[in-house]
Amino acid sequence: SYNPAGCLVNGICHYENEPWEDKMQCVRFVCVYCQVQSSPLGCIVDGYCHKNEETWEENCSKYICRGTKAIPESVGCIVEDTCHKDGSQWEERCSNFVCQKGKVSTKPAGCFLDGICYRDQERWEINCQTFRCANNKVRTESSGCLVDGICYQDKEKWENFDTCTNFLCIRGKIQTTKRGCNVEGVCYKTQDTWEDGCSKYKCSNGQIKPVALGCLFEDDCFMDGENWNAHCSSFVCKNGKAIANPDGCYINGVCYMDGDSWEDTCTQFVCKDNKVQTDSVGCIVEGTCYKNQETWMDDIQCSNYICNKGKVCNHRIGCLINGECHRDQDTWEEDCTHFYCRHGIVKTEILGCMIDGVCYMEQEKWEDQCNSYVCKNKKAHATPKPTLCCNCGGRYYINGDIIYQDNLIYQCVQGQHISLTNQDCCVSSLSCCNQDTYTQPHNYVQQYFMPQPHQIEISHCNGIGCGKK
């Protein structure tokens, strides 16, 4: 018979009264009478099993496991990522800190200034000022005056001879008193006099007052009320100032009288009422000055330009033909054609008949060996001459001529060349016989022509021989 002797759990046999633990679930097991009995092992915190009465620290606090609950025994304080235990004390930035049950309490320990901790009743000096820490607060005890890196104490006096000034420091503020007149770094005492240029001055209670004022003009000294002429103007000296009365226009060292005109940098100027006025403005194009309303041609751009008050305007557009520029409204003739350029567009008109490189005008007549021609309505009209001609290979033959070409023989008959190759031409071994005169073959067609002696050109023989006359 079968008698159980333990507990089978997950393939493992646990004997009677055998205990075991599962820390993942934080549970204790025991096998009693073949039955599995369980009881809590402790506390599960963040997936970890803490046994009963076990203590641990986490996040600046101390915990104890009671049953299945994690109970905090003490709570610390986290300050700037630093853990301070419960009840701990520390000092930072002139303050005392205490951690009590997770809360931080502070108490001043002095005066914190510019990163330095000054204790109560401590004194220090910064920038000519004396400070004291009283009841954890910064108090100013005295203020001096810092001038050019030198500290002058309260109620201290000093003077600057270069500026003729006396100074007094009162609670950090500077009081000044003039002791004379400073002129370009020189100190003149009260009632002192001196000359500067054409004028004389006097120091009166720290104020500079003129005694006699003259006028300095181009290294010359003129007294008050004195007159002189220069630069197209008459001058008078009044209270140290040169008053000008223009008599013209003074430009670049030249005196222009009223009504005079001159040119400078492609601009026309005129002197009017003793003032310079612009008369006209030209245009500078690639170093060349064009006056106002002046036109010029640019053969590269094939355009005509005009200068209008200093601005370049496209006046007329020409026609660029085969690299040659024709100006607007230009006309020319070529290949029996009349050309006209207008606003950049070429217009054409046929003048006559263009024949073999020769231009024949309307109704003009001409002729060649076989025809008479006349030019009508721009076309050549031909009229055959009374003697009929044949045009064979660009050569002309009269009626009855024998034509030798490409080993063939032709006859010029009524203006047409008829092949005689199939006729019984007297073929022999003779080769043209040095341009001798030959008769026609004997078996020609009598009704069309009569035998006529003629001269055979060597270039047309090609090995053909005929009966010699």
Higher pLDDT, 141 or 366: 366
The winner for highest mean pLDDT among 324-328, 412-416, 449-453, 461-465 is 324-328
What pLDDT score was predicted for residue 89? 87
Could you give the C-alpha distances from 17 to 20, 35, 37, 286, in angstroms and in order?
A: 10, 10, 10, 117
- Asked whether the CA dihedral 91, 97, 101, 103 is positive or negative, the reply is negative
Q: Phi first, then psi: what are they for 433, rounded to 5°?
A: 55, 40
- pLDDT: is 197 or 336 the higher one? 336
Q: How far apart are CA 133 and CA 110, in angstroms?
A: 7
Please write the tens of the pLDDT for every residue from 386-397.
666 666 666 666
pLDDT for 386 equals 66
Q: Is 458 helix (H, G, I), strand (E, B) or coil?
A: helix
- 448 has pLDDT over 80: no
Q: Phi/psi of residue 313, each to 5°?
A: -120, 145
Give 433's pLDDT tier (boundaries 50, 70, 90). Answer: very low
Q: What is the pLDDT of residue 235?
A: 92
pLDDT score of 455: 44
d(C-alpha 113, C-alpha 93), whole Å: 9
Average pLDDT, the chain: 80
Residue 72 to residues 54, 56, 101, 105, Cα–Cα distance (Å): 12, 10, 10, 21
- pLDDT category at 198 given cuts 50, 70, 90 is confident
Quickly list DSSP for 70-109.
EEEEEE-EEETTEEE-TT-EEEETTEEEEEETTEEEEEE-
What confidence tier does 461 reach under pLDDT thresholds 50, 70, 90? very low
CB atoms within 10 A of CB 261: 13
Read off the pLDDT of each residue in 21-30 and give the average, rounded to a whole number: 87
Give the pLDDT confidence score for residue 31 in this predicted structure: 92
Residue 454 has pLDDT above 60, yes or no: no
| Distance from C-alpha of 23 to C-alpha of 39, rounded to nearest angstrom | 12
Under 8 Å between Cβ of 387 and 412: no
pLDDT of residue 236: 93
Cα–Cα dist 16/35, whole Å: 9
pLDDT at 431 over 50: no
What pTM was computed for the model? 0.31
**Helix (H) or strand (E) run with residue 36 in it:** strand 35-40
pLDDT band per the 50, 70, 90 thresholds, residue 269: very high
Q: Tokens 């009840």 appear where? A: 87
**Six-digit token string for 3:** 């008698």
pLDDT in tens, 48-89: 888 888 888 888 888 889 888 888 877 888 888 888 888 888
Element (H, E) at 376: strand 371-376
pLDDT at 48: 87
pLDDT for residue 2: 59
Give tens-digit pLDDT for 352-370.
898 888 899 888 888 877 7
Q: How far is CA 93 from CA 97, 106, 114, 115, in A?
A: 10, 11, 10, 8
How many C-beta atoms lie closer than 10 Å to residue 429's C-beta? 6
pLDDT, residue 441, reads 42
